[in-house]
Amino acid sequence: MANDTTLKPTTRTKPKPKVERPKLYKVILLNDDYTPREFVIMVLKAVFRMSEETGYRVMMTAHKLGTSVVMVAARDIAETKAQEAVDLAKAADFPLMFTTEPEE
Ligand code: TYC
């Protein structure tokens, strides 16, 4: 005789969400020894629409700690903004770098 407890379906306590929330990505500013502080602030204002004061704070955070989070956005927006910022730096011959990484 079959043991009917083996046929009991497993139950989920938490239903699987039907729509996944898209991951958000951080744009990260990296410090370097060559790019002038004023140029970093100019890029933050031009590409990320920051005020002078916010740009100064974000620049100084990277300058002192090595990195600073500039914005959090959907992957395509984060990557496009980071690329625009790196392109401005390249055009001016500065080694300024921005990277992107997924949030936790
Ligand atoms: N460290 C640079 C200097 O002393 C300034 C700087 C700050 C560069 C932040 C990059 O992400 C940066 N001129």
Nearest ligand 1 atom, CA 96? 10
| Of 73, 79, 72, the residue nearest 58 (C-alpha) | 72
Residues in the chain: 104
61 inside domain: yes
3 inside domain: no
For ligand 1, the distance from its centroid to the CA atom of residue 25, given in whole angstroms, is: 23
For residues 7 and 44, what is the distance between their CA atoms, to the nearest angstrom?
A: 61
Whether the per-residue pLDDT at 9 is higher than 70: the answer is: no
Q: Tell me which DSSP letter residue 68 carries.
A: E
92 inside domain: yes
pTM of the model: 0.84
Q: For residue 10, what pLDDT is reported?
A: 59
Q: For residue 41, what pLDDT is reported?
A: 99
Tell me which residue range forms the domain holding 76. 24-102
Q: Is 57 in the pocket of ligand 1 (CB under 6 A)?
A: no
73 inside domain: yes
Rg (CA), the chain: 22
Residue nearest to atom 10 of ligand 1 (CA): 31
67 inside domain: yes
pLDDT tens digits, one per residue of 23-80: 999 999 999 999 999 999 999 999 999 999 999 999 999 999 999 999 999 999 999 9
30, 40, 65: which to mutate for ligand 1, most atoms within 8 A of CB? 40
